[in-house]
Structure 1
């Protein structure tokens, strides 16, 4: 055997290390404490904790007031926690922050009236604990189980689902499952809750197993993540051995092996890995004539931190002054609160939580004192500039808020970056008051970026013009006679109005605006008014559209005939004065004639001596010609003394 490949991420993950440290600290503080079941899935660690005063019990009822119990890293059922608290048992919660997050997601789903679905091993304590935070949880061990549930009842596809994964779930199994749910279900929220450390460990195992002749996986046989590592390795390596310690290794297993791979589950202590590695490395040591200690190997696995680079880590603690981050390096890394966010009022716990993965910028590295100073705020700023530059190349539409009117234009804040928009590109008419745009949300396209000068220029007009062109094409592609639109009055003339029906203007002639007689469009509408219109005719070649407002399905004459008869009194509006009399609107679209002889109870020279246009008067309907649709009206008939005969009351043939 010439080479042993050790996975860098082998061994304790953050959650397991935290649980063990909490148990040891609690035992030291209380002169002994309890754990419910195995704190982690590793017999060696559990035995070591017992020697340090962390006793084990499987029965929560055996604990009483004054006892202290450390909750295992996989979490516990909610009912057990509630019962312990009610009986006065002090609980030190060592549940992995990633597991706590899933518990919260499940509880939130319950509160929102959604059903929680967990992809993972139904018998695993983590899954059992998570499932207890809601009623009627669904637990699927893979895509086949998902498919069986969906096919069991058609209505299952309509159930609102919140989907999460066991932290140690195999990624391929989870992704296959959620893709089926996303495709089949109408209302599903998917949360990728696989632990980042688990994903890295599995990815490294895939890479090493593909190169190795023999693969060794170290970990407790009860450990789910160790079992999954073994399954993953078996898909890529012909010989895979899962062991709990070095004493299970046999020289026979490595016969004919040139390259051996070694990885370990999240609950495997460094000491056991070191021992296994040493046993596997005996032949390579002899061949190369040198020893490489496990500590040296671990040191090689540490990241090298350089000022100005990006680095990803896991939030391990939030103190009153800083956020501590594990970046996989020798140095302790932290973020000052002032470097966490641009928002001075933001609280650290609202931005990050323990267990979160966070990408940061390395501000300073002090190898002498062993720490690295990080900044999330600066990285966010760098990302924004990168996104702005990408937006220029890809002509992406961005959204921002107008913050001020500037000389020659306005300033728009896009994710904290000031974008200058010239007045000509503001989308407003020449000479418009741009201050009215302040505080408005706008869409724009970035046209110029100079990061060195921190100058960004954008155009709102480019977006609005493009949207208008698209809307115009949509209108012309689907326009037809009789089609109705909700439009807006754009401009007015003496002969009608122009209405915007979605990027295209159509003309409504004054005669189509109302059944009533009107002299100007201003009598019935104004610029900016909404208007329901329909297409009378259009010429796609000349890009002209004739619109109507009047409902031609309504017959004004029939409305009149249904409402009035000869002898009825009506209140009418004078619409036109002639030498021979006055025309009055009885109902919209139907006028009647008041002959000059019927205007007053005396002889008059002209109608305007008594009447004026738009005046409202009461009249008596004296004659109706249904065939010619003409009406005779009389004011005089209402003025004649009782019993006095009415003269010249019927005048139907007078034309306007």
Structure 2
């Protein structure tokens, strides 16, 4: 019997029983009658059964018996109401794709998350699938952290569809959006929980000239170079390095502008608190020259406590600049002229300390005509 005759007989049969008409593109619900390694027979509640060829069962050419079983209820797509042999030609792939498209369109419109399966790494990102629909995840949208894209292959990921154009087969998704939302949610909770003066554990993320940025669990704060140590710090790298785990104190919290200052030095060991009773006006102390300026020299008395020796308090002799008689790291005796604990300022004198030094008085008594200057005497102190 020719195809023309078969189609004519089918048409007469349909007219005789007044059954529904099928058109290409219809999606029907059916029940699997039989399945083998080449095809699937489906009851579609029609005058004729439907047939799904193996290539229309799955996109990865799986054995149909791995995809469906007898008595399964499935949705099918009508490729042709007549395959030329008395069956309705059907596709499971196309029916699933229509269903997947509808779901993706709804999720895209409502900005809902979808779960995809990553199949392979490709140039610029990874290829994933939502059912039978190919989804591209660019490398820049795969994560908010730097990752190896190959580690995503074979995994199921929750993503957000960012672009959807079925006509041009362009479906793009982002995993980074979800991670950013979670990060920002956690960050808000952390900001709300921060309290001045409390201790937090963190990791040094970046070193800059003026300090170090530390992540304390979702929020980054700055340790200014002056808060790295009670001692003078020339370079942050001398105290911390990237990747170091540190324990810090919360300095100040600016929630509005999301700015956080941190302190690495132990606030309970603030030098002025620890040594407050060790410094009084009139005391003669030994210190170390830590900085020379045009107007004088700064001398460290204790770790974190410095005083200023004005150039006029270095010697009675005329000097053009402090470096004429002093050097950095030189140990010197100084007298405390005044102390302002509130402003943490100390005025010191080298010449008065030397003049009160017994060795110096003995030297004066025995060396009236020696011609040795105070500058010569100061240069006799030890260096470190």
Question: TM-score, structure 1 length as denominator?
Answer: 0.33
Partner residue, 2:121: 403
Equivalence for 2:105: 389
- Number of equivalenced pairs: 261
Aligned partners of 1:422 and 1:459 also within 8 Å: no
1:481, 1:536 within 8 Å by CA — same for their partners in 2?
yes
Taking structure 1 as reference, are residues 322 and 546 closer, same or farther at Cα in structure 2, changes over 3 Å only? same
The yes-or-no answer on 1:479 pairing with 2:197 is: no
Pair 1:378–1:388, CA change in 2 (3 A): same
Does 2:252 match 1:537?
yes
**Alignment counterpart, residue 498 of structure 1, candidates 199, 208, 213:** 213
Conservation of the 8 A alpha-carbon contact between 1:307 and 1:362: yes
8 Å Cα contact 1:311-1:359 kept in structure 2: yes
Give the structure 2 partner of residue 322 of structure 1.
Answer: 39
Aligned to 1:289: none
Q: What residue is the counterpart of 2:375 in the other structure?
A: none
State the Cα distance separating 1:317 from its structure 2 match: 2.1
**8 Å Cα contact 1:446/1:458 also seen in 2:** yes
Q: Tell me if the contact between 1:360 and 1:379 (Cα under 8 Å) persists in the aligned partners.
A: yes
From the superposition, tell whether residues 393 and 521 of structure 1 become closer, same or farther in structure 2 (CA, over 3 Å).
same
Q: With structure 2 as the length reference, what TM-score do the two structures score?
A: 0.52
Q: State whether structure 2 residue 70 is matched by structure 1 residue 354.
A: yes
SS at match of 1:498: strand
Provide closer, same or farther for how the CA distance between residues 426 and 325 of structure 1 changes in structure 2, counting only shifts above 3 A.
closer
More strand, by proportion: 2
Match of 1:451 among 154, 166, 187: 166
Q: CA deviation at 1:518?
A: 7.4
Identify which of 334, 338, 341 aligns with 2:58: 341
Residue equivalent to 2:337: none
Whether 1:365 and 2:365 are equivalent positions in the alignment is no
CA contact (8 A) 1:321 1:337 kept: yes
Aligned partners of 1:502 and 1:352: how far apart in 2? 48
Q: Which residue of structure 1 aligns with residue 95 of structure 2?
A: 379
- Describe the shift of the 1:329–1:485 C-alpha distance in structure 2 as closer, same or farther (beyond 3 A): farther
Task: Judge conservation of contact 1:403–1:439 (CA < 8 Å) in 2.
Answer: no
Distance 2:99 2:115 in 1: 16
Find out whether 1:507 has 2:225 as its counterpart. no
- Tell me, in whole angstroms, the C-alpha distance in 2 between the residues paired with 1:342 and 1:370: 26
Contact 2:32–2:41 (CA<8 Å) still a contact in 1?
yes
Residues 126 and 149, structure 2, Cα contact 8 Å, conserved in 1 = no
Tell me: CA distance 1:525–1:365, structure 2 relative to 1, closer, same or farther (3 Å). farther
Judged with a 3 Å threshold, the aligned counterparts in structure 2 of structure 1 residues 446 and 484 are, in CA distance, closer, same or farther, namely farther
Matched residue of 2:81: which SS? strand
CA–CA separation in structure 1 for the residues paired with 2:246 and 2:69: 53
Could you tell me whether the CA contact under 8 Å between 1:487 and 1:501 is conserved in 2? yes
The alpha-carbon deviation at position 394 of structure 1 amounts to 1.0
* Conservation of the 8 A alpha-carbon contact between 2:36 and 2:64: no
Local SS of the residue matching 1:366: coil
Q: Distance in 2 between matches of 1:330 and 1:444?
A: 43
Provide the aligned C-alpha RMSD in A.
4.7
Unaligned 5+ runs, structure 2 = 1-13, 271-287, 291-299, 304-326, 330-381
CA shift in 2, pair 1:475/1:355, >3 Å: same
Confirm whether residue 305 of structure 1 aligns to residue 18 of structure 2.
no
CA distance in 2, matches of 1:475, 1:369: 69
The answer as to whether partners of 1:421 and 1:459 remain within 8 angstroms in 2 is yes
Instruction: Spell out the pairing of 1:32-43 with structure 2 (5 A cutoff).
Output: none
Distance 2:161 2:66 in 1: 31
